[in-house]
Structure 1
Amino acid sequence: MATLKRAQRFPFPDIPDWFENLPARFAMPTMGELYTVRIEDYTEEGRYVMRAELPGVAPENIDVFISDGVLTVQAERSERDVSKNHSEIRYGVMSRSVTLPPGADEDDVTADYTDGMLTVSVGMGAEKPAAKHVEIKHGT
């Protein structure tokens, strides 16, 4: 007998933020040194805008791409080879993907990186209907 499994969204999406400032022994583990990029998104003047915090990342170490309605930002912050007394800075690969809203034009995308903030702007074309009704014909 097959068992159905219901996908469930986590009810508290910002729980990882609660643990961010805890000492390392209490912090949440990372998945293979992959960190999440902090973002905000909104619609402004007919464009979808996503801003990402990427302080200390060189522009050549940032990659933005769109595939199948998903916008992804990947970046890598390199660690300096110096003897440290203490460090709370996260190094390594960071990534964040967001689903673009309906009507986003994947061919109309711009990106700007200034003062540690990446701003990606996507044009909003005509919104497509969420579903299409299909008429059922009766056999003759």
Structure 2
Amino acid sequence: MSLLPVHRRTGTTLPDLEDMWNAALMPFGGWAPTFETHLLRVEDTVEDGHYVVRAEIPGIDPAKDVEVSVHEGQLTIKAERTEKKEEKGRSEFRYGSFERTVTLPAGAQDKDIDATYAKGILTVSVPMEEQPKEVTKKIEVKSGD
């Protein structure tokens, strides 16, 4: 068994803070019973007229373990990864419920949304209507005299 420390890339600190908090509370049962949902790590971009969200969810069956929904301009991704009870050593994998909700940008359409899963990455593509370019209108200020 390796006792080397885990090194992470810098970037978002929220999942790392959660890891430290859980480790500090581990002797007291951690906070997992209180907050049983883990934060999904995502990236988003606009590509070719689509808002694209990618979520890192390795080791799941997309047909059974993932739910993608849209409600009132919010895209929600939920996943469940169940732990196999095998006592072969240490594990830093996360099991349980994972969830992330993102606000869709202006112009996002809730029809024809496509979701695919490949190599541990869920990709959700939301079509966007082309937004007219905003024109700045100058308003004349009149004297009140």
TM-score by length of 2: 0.71
Asked whether the 8 Å contact 1:51–1:118 carries over to 2, the reply is yes
The whole-number CA distance in structure 1 between the counterparts of 2:41 and 2:56 is 6
State whether structure 2 residue 48 is matched by structure 1 residue 45.
yes
Which residue of the other structure, out of 53, 69, 76, is the alignment partner of 1:72?
76
Deviation readout 1:1-58 (Å, 9 max, x if unpaired): xxxxxxxxxxxx9332343664822689455220010000000001100000000111
Higher helix share: 2
Alignment partners' CA distance in 2, 1:14 and 1:29: 21
CA distance in 1 between counterparts of 2:92 and 2:98 reads 16
- 1:14 corresponding residue in structure 2: 12
Larger strand percent: 1
Corresponding residue number in structure 1 for 2:58:
55
In the superposition, the TM-score normalised over structure 1's length comes to: 0.73
Given the superposition, is the C-alpha separation of residues 48 and 74 from structure 1 closer, same or farther in structure 2, using an over 3 Å criterion? same
2-side partners of 1:21 and 1:92: how far apart?
Answer: 15
Residues 1:29 and 1:16: Cα distance change in structure 2 (over 3 Å): farther
Q: How many residues align?
A: 118
Tell me the equivalent position of 1:134.
none
